């Protein structure tokens, strides 16, 4: 039973060796069951895909692991650099495929010729942050929550819908590429969605973070992924980076969700143990509005669903 903040912290603490053993056995079992010769992962340079890549190498061996790096013109070059360096460090097969040209084939004007100039991303970062903060201030909720709830017919909502369609196309194209290469090379597609993202719907439906042959860390909160990363000795630069879907310059996870993953995970864990929103706020010190916003995400995320 959870009755104090310390109880939450203790419940969130994992046994890394046990978790690694269970995940490794699951990966090996599924690989043999599907009669695949190896695994394929979309390595973004973020903590989740990095941890999953290491777990796969531990489970099936370095020679059976391949990663695809799938940036576009708006991707942060830091993530690409980290992904390339880490793949090289592990000595696993990797391939970089820039998907900007595919987005252009969709006749998306923002991915025209000038989109390839990275200095523009700095300007975009400022504009996107201002637009996001203005929306949250005037609307009383994050744009992400509004999208999950369903956008109405207000004029600016039409603009958000169009932007969402463009951003979602990125992850859906990445999913198609992952399965194309996996099926061509007889590999199993490994997804990198964690429990926190799954519960609050923080992924793109039918995208690379929604569809996979196996989601090995789907049972772990984001906070627990960090614990696992430290145990696995993932590079500090990757652990310290602000988590980001890397869909729009300047918008990281905390900006889009409104609060930190540690706070979100404590809210989710407390709610799973039947604590009321009022008690969660009192126990954690998190403002009741923030608690309610995360509970709302869980409610509306059920309509999306990860199988």
Structure tokens at 220: 């772990």
Please indicate whether residue 149 or residue 297 has the higher confidence score (pLDDT): 297
Least confident of 1-5, 80-84, 183-187, 266-270: 1-5
Residue 200 clears pLDDT 80, i.e. is over it: yes
Region for residue 35 given its phi and psi (left: phi exceeds 0; alpha: psi -120 to 50; beta: otherwise): left
pTM for this prediction? 0.91
Structure tokens at 253: 């996870």
Place of tokens 């900006």: 255
CATH for the stretch 5-301: 3.40.50.620
Angle at 164 between CA 162 and CA 167, to 5 degrees: 115
- Gap between the Cα atoms of 278 and 275, Å rounded: 8
Question: Mean pLDDT, to the nearest integer, of 163-191?
Answer: 94
Supply the Cα-derived Rg of the chain in whole angstroms: 19
Least confident of 60-64, 124-128, 209-213, 236-240: 124-128
| Burial profile 203-234: b = 16 or more Cβ within 10 angstroms, e = fewer | bbeebbbbbbbbbbbeebbbbbbbbbbeeeeb
The answer to whether the Cα torsion of 288, 291, 297, 302 is positive or negative is negative
Band (141; pLDDT cuts 50, 70, 90) = confident
């Amino acid at each position: 039973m959870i009755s104090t903040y310390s109880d939450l912290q203790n419940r969130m603490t994992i046994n890394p060796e046990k978790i690694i053993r269970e995940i490794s056995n699951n990966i090996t079992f599924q690989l043999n069951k599907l009669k695949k010769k190896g695994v394929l992962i979309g390595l973004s340079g973020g903590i989740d895909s990095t941890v999953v890549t290491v777990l796969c190498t531990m489970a099936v061996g370095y020679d059976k692991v391949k990663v695809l790096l799938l940036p576009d013109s708006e991707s942060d070059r830091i993530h690409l650099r980290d992904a390339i360096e880490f793949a090289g460090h592990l000595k696993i097969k990797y391939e970089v495929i820039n998907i900007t040209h595919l987005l252009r084939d969709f006749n998306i004007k923002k991915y025209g010729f000038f989109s390839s100039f990275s200095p523009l991303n700095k300007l975009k970062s400022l504009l996107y942050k201002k637009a996001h903060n203005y929306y949250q201030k005037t609307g009383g909720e994050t744009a992400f929550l509004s999208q999950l709830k369903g956008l109405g017919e207000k004029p600016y909502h039409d603009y958000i819908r169009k932007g969402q369609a463009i951003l979602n196309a990125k992850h859906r194209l990445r999913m198609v590429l992952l399965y194309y290469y996996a099926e061509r090379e007889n590999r199993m597609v490994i997804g990198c969605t964690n429990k926190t993202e799954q519960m609050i719907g923080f992924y793109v439906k039918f995208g690379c973070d929604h569809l996979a042959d196996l989601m090995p860390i789907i049972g772990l909160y984001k906070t627990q992924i960090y614990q696992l990363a430290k145990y696995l000795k993932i590079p500090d630069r990757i652990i310290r980076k602000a988590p980001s879907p890397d869909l729009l310059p300047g918008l990281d996870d905390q900006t889009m969700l409104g609060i930190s993953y540690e706070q979100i995970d404590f809210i989710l864990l407390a709610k799973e143990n039947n604590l009321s929103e009022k008690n969660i706020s009192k126990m954690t010190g998190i403002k009741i509005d923030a608690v309610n916003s995360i509970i709302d995400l869980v409610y509306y995320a059920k309509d999306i669903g990860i199988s």
